[in-house]
A = this chain, B = another copy of it.
Amino acid sequence: MTTTVDGEKMERVREKVEQMGVFFERSGLAPLTGRVFAYLLVCEPPHKDFFAIQEFLQASKSAVSNALATLTSEGMVDYITFSGDRRRYFRINTTGWLNNLKNKLRRVTVLGDLLDDVLQERCNSRSPDFSDELNKIVVFQNYLARGIDQLIDEWEKKQTVS
């Protein structure tokens, strides 16, 4: 029996998937890939087989397959199986995703490194004022990179304790 309450919940889920889908899209995933990930985050139970995903998102097999392939290769999704059922039940890989998030955060060093090269090149230029301001940004980036690394390390320490 499908009640009105279920229907409303369904509607909220759909909205959530679109909303979060856009977020993941903006953070680098293809539109459908983002929505697959979003769906796996909000669906109940939190693992779905290929067809259920395809059905919910009204997408083609190939698109879903590719989306799941990139997500699994990124470590953000994996799957479980149940004996006597050869379907794969895809789900969020929380630890993989977390590592992903951490790695992205640690990548704040990159800009600082690039700018460091620029400063090397600029060291005897005729515009020291600009170099100074650039240097300020380098310092800021390095300061933040260090800080973020430290935050992550501390958090990991806390995790191993508890």
Contact = CB atoms under 8 A, between A and B. Distances in A.
Interface in A80-128: 91-92, 94-95, 97-98, 101, 105, 108, 110-111, 114-115, 117-118, 121-122, 125-127
Contact of A16 (B23, B117, B151): B117
Interface string A37-76: 0000110111000000000000000000000000000000
Copies in the assembly, this chain = 2
Interface residues of A, number: 46
B140 A98 contact: yes
A94 B134 contact: yes
B143 A155 contact: yes
A114 B19 contact: yes
B133 A94 contact: yes
B46 A121 contact: no
Given A125-B44, A144-B105, A114 B155 contact: no
Nearest to A141: B101
Contacts of A151: 143-144, 147-148
A83 B61 CA distance: 63
A151 B44 CA distance: 38
A131 to B, nearest CB: 8
A46 to B, nearest CB: 4
Contact of A121 (B12, B101, B115, B134): B12
Contacts of A110: 23
